[in-house]
A = this chain, B = another copy of it.
Amino acid sequence: MAKIDEVAKAAGVSISTVSYALSGKRPVSVATRQRVEAAVRDLDYRPNAGARMLAGRRTNIFALTEPFRPDTHAPTHMAFVLATSIAARRSEYDILLLTEEEASAGMRRVASSGLVDGVLVLDVAPDDERVGIARQIDLPTVFIGVPDDREGLVCVDLDFEAAASLAVDRFADAGHGSIALIGFPAVGYEKSNFPPRVRSAYARRAEERGLAHAFRASGVETPDLARVRSIVRDLVASGVTAIAVHSPAEVLTTVMDELGRHGLRVPANVSIIALANSLDPDTLPTPIDSVPLVAQESCDLAVELALAAVEEGAQQPGLHLLPPHYLDRGSVAAPPGG
C-alpha cells in the first residue's frame, strides 16, 4: 500500500509528475516517465481508490442492475453479466452489483452517493421500473434490452427482427413452403420484451416470402418438454418441414430427440435453426444452425456508450440494434420433396 509521495520520492520527482506520468494527461519526458514507472513497479504502487474518486472526476465503477426475475434464464443471464464485466475491465472499470429490490432503490443510492459513474441495466422488462429511475438520476444509464417506453433512453440490443427474418430467409431460400417457430413459454410474450418481437418478425417475413407459418409457445410459465414433443409431432404431421426454435437449450434438444424418435433426420427430413440462443451451438450433440445472441458485442457497446457519456458529461438517447450473425452448421437443407 505505497502512496504517491513515496513513488515521487523514489523516482526523484514531484507527486504531480507521478500523477501525470501515470494518467498521461500531460506530456512527460521519456526519461522521467521511465523512472516513475520503475518506482511504481518496485513499490507495487496502486492509486488509492477512495482518494481517486474524491479528487478525480470519476470512480471507475459502473453499477450493473439485475433483477433476478423468476423466469430469467440463468445461463444466459450469467453470460451477460460476464460479458459486461469483461467489457468494463477493458476500460479499467469495475462492476458493482445491484440485485433484486436494490436494483431500483440501489440506482438512486449509488447515483447520489457518487459511487459509480454510470449504470448498466440488464434483463430489461417491457414496463421496467428502472426506466423511470434512469430518467430521474443524473447518471449515464445504458439499457441492454429495450423497454416499451424508451423515450430519452440509451438502449442496446440484438436486432431481433433482423434475426428472425434471417432465419425465415434461410428456410425460404432452401425451398421450404411451410415453416414454424417454437417460441418461449407463453408468459414470455407478456412479461419480456424480445419474444414478441421475434414472433411478429418471423410471421411478417414468412408472409412476405409467401410461406405458411405456425407459432407455438414452448410452455406456459416454463418450458414444458412433454408439450414440446407433442408440438413437434403435430407440426411435422401438418406438413411443416422447417422449425426455428427460440427457447432454452433443453427445448432444442427435446425437439431433436423427438424428431429422432420418429426417424426424422436433420436436415434431410426437417431443417432446424436455433434463434437468439446463448449457448454454443457446437456443443450440441448435433450441430445446429443458429442466429445467436451477441452478449459480448452488446455489452461492449453498452460500456462504450456509457463511457462516452461519462466523458462528454451527457448522453445522446438512441436505440442501438446489433446486426445478427448466421452460424451455418448444416442443419438447414431443402425439404424432402424439394
Is the beta-carbon distance between A82 and B68 smaller than 8 angstroms? Answer: yes
B-chain residues with CB within 8 Å of residue A96 when the two chains form the complex: 61, 94-97
Q: How far is the CA of A100 from the CA of B94 in the complex (A)?
A: 13
A238 within 8 A of B: no
Contacts of A47 in B (CB 8 A): 113
Chain B CB within 10 A, most for which of A50, A81, A98 = A50
Taking the full assembly, how many copies of this chain does it contain?
Answer: 2
Type the 1/0 row for A65-102, where 1 means its CB is closer than 8 Å to any CB of B.
Answer: 00010000011011001100110010000111111101
- Number of A interface residues in the complex (CB < 8 A): 40
- Asked if B46 and A113 make an inter-chain contact with CB atoms under 8 angstroms apart, the answer reads yes
What separation, in Å, do the CA atoms of A86 and B97 have in the docked complex?
11
Q: Which residues of B contact A44 (CB under 8 A)?
A: 112
User: Residues of B contacting A98 with CB < 8 Å?
Assistant: 85
A109 within 8 A of B: yes
Let me know if B64 and A85 touch, CB within 8 A. no
Is the Cβ of A78 less than 8 Å from the Cβ of B74? yes
Name the segment of A10-18, A51-59, A181-189 touching the other chain: A51-59
Given known contacts A54-B50, A112-B44, A115-B94, A100 and B78 CB-to-CB distance under 8 angstroms: no
- Known contacts A50-B52, A94-B96; can you find 4 more A-B pairs with CB under 8 A? A1-B112, A46-B112, A50-B54, A53-B54
Does A328 sit within 8 A of B, measured CB to CB?
A: no
| Minimum CB–CB distance for A252 against chain B, Å | 14
| Residue A175 is within 8 A (CB to CB) of chain B in the complex | no
In the complex the two chains form, is B100's CB within 8 Å of A97's CB?
no
Question: What is the CA–CA distance of A95 and B102 in the complex, to the nearest angstrom?
Answer: 12
The reply to whether B100 and A48 contact each other, CB–CB distance below 8 Å, is no
A149 within 8 A of B: no
List of B residues within 8 angstroms of A48 by Cβ: 54, 113-114
Q: How far is the CB of A295 from chain B (nearest CB, A)?
A: 12
Known: A85-B100, A97-B96, A102-B89. A114 touches B49 (CB 8 A): yes
Q: CA–CA, A85 to B102, complex, Å?
A: 9
Interfacial chain B residues near A138, Cβ < 8 Å: 1
Closest beta carbon of chain B to A220's beta carbon, Å: 13
Q: Within residues 10 to 46 of chain A, which ones have a CB less than 8 A from any CB in chain B?
A: 44, 46
Contact A97 B94 (CB under 8 A): yes
Q: Is residue A250 contacting chain B, with contact meaning CB distance below 8 A? A: yes
Q: How far is the CB of A133 from chain B (nearest CB, A)?
A: 14
Instruction: Give the nearest-CB partner of A102 in chain B.
Output: B89
Which B residues are CB-close (under 8 A) to A59?
Answer: 49-50
- Give the CA-CA distance A2 to B102 in the complex, in Å: 22
Task: Give, as a whole number of angstroms, the nearest-CB distance from A158 to chain B.
Answer: 20
Q: Once the chains are docked, how many angstroms separate the CA of A46 from the CA of B114? A: 9
Bound-complex Cα distance A100 to B102 (A): 25
* Cα A109 to Cα B48 with chains together (Å): 11
Known A-B contacts A68-B82, A75-B74; the reply to A51 vs B54 at CB < 8 A is yes
User: Which residues of chain B are within 8 angstroms of A250 by Cβ–Cβ distance?
Assistant: 250
C-alpha spacing A47/B113, complex, angstroms? 6
Distance between Cα atoms of A109 and B1 in the complex (Å) = 11
A77 and B78 CA atoms in complex are apart in Å by 9
